[in-house]
Amino acid sequence: MKTSVNGISINYRDEGRGIPVILIHAFPMNQAMWDDQVLALAPMCRMITLDLRGFGASDIPLGPYWMALMASDVRSLMARLGVEQAVLVGLSMGGYVAMSLFRNFPDSVSGLVLADTRAAADTQDGRERRLASAEKAEHHGVESIVDEMLQLLLSQTAIDTRPDVVNRARQIALQNRPEGVAAAQRGMAARPDSTEMLAIVDRPALVLVGSEDRLSTPEETRGWQERMPNSQLAIIQGAGHLSNIEQPEAFNSALADFIKTFPN
Ligand code: MLT
């Protein structure tokens, strides 16, 4: 379904009834990465997913896409759907957007699930690599960056033995356009450090990380999660960075247990 928010058309899905849960996708993915979660959890809660601006079937306005801008799109979508407060589930870039939404609209957030994401801003090297990748995507297409990204997004086991998982992630990434991918890279390069902000989050929080995540390692994740007063950590065994795609059952079960703690 499509609706207009902040002057652009956003593609979204809204399934199930009960407590609203908004799932915010990773880079360079789109809402299709949440298919297993929607199927498994829509019988117990209201699952809302969206293609962030620049991704999937949403509009691709000029960038950069600051995290606060994408957070404001999510907040406006909530308003459109009559959702005052939701549990936010953000994976990686989706986590940066969820953190920004909490920073700017804390009253809209009843709980936070941060999966395979990072509290820190980019290092100078990381920022430069990102800006170079944005240019590469613009000049040579999304396919020019996808294969090397998949090496980081998936566990070695998946790369070596699970062509279905590799193909699914690749197909989702290839549905995106270079302009949107580049604009999101530039926005992520400018994102603020959220370490101090997370330390004062008073909402219930679940932090998930794949045991084989190479981009946001379990060690790094534990470092900031331990400072979040009302949080718990769940390690998704045998998963890389896209832990919901690699190990959907373990991911769904941790998410369902967390959602059950909220009044319906
Ligand atoms: C993601 O999965 O969203 C990306 O790895 C985020 C990033 O590049 O920092």
Provide the edge-to-edge strand list for the sheet that holds 231-236: 2-5, 8-15, 46-50, 20-24, 86-91, 109-115, 205-210, 231-236
Q: Would you say the pTM of this structure is higher than 0.95?
A: yes
Residue to mutate (ligand 1; options 91, 93, 242; most atoms within 8 A of CB): 93
Of the CA atoms within 13 Å of residue 140, those in its CB half-sphere come to 9
For 68-113, the DSSP string reads HHHHHHHHHHHHHTT-S-EEEEEETHHHHHHHHHHHH-GGGEEEEE
Residues 6+ apart with CB under 8 A from 229: 199, 200, 201, 202
Please identify, by atom number, the ligand 1 atom nearest to the C-alpha of residue 188. 9
- Atom 4 (ligand 1) nearest CA: 27
Q: Is 244 helix (H, G, I), strand (E, B) or coil?
A: helix
Please identify, by atom number, the ligand 1 atom nearest to the C-alpha of residue 25. 3
Q: Can you give the pLDDT at residue 264?
A: 77
Please identify, by atom number, the ligand 1 atom nearest to the C-alpha of residue 149. 5
Q: Can you give the pLDDT at residue 38?
A: 98
Q: What token pair was written down for 32?
A: 């299709």
From first to last of the 264 residues of the chain, give the pLDDT tens digit: 999 999 999 999 999 999 999 999 999 999 999 999 999 999 999 999 999 999 999 999 999 999 999 999 999 999 999 999 999 999 999 999 999 999 999 999 999 999 999 999 999 999 999 999 999 999 999 999 999 999 999 999 999 999 999 999 999 999 999 999 999 999 999 999 999 999 999 999 999 999 999 999 999 999 999 999 999 999 999 999 999 999 999 999 999 999 999 987
Nearest CA to 159 out of 169, 144, 145 is that of 169
Residue to mutate (ligand 1; options 33, 65, 92; most atoms within 8 A of CB): 92
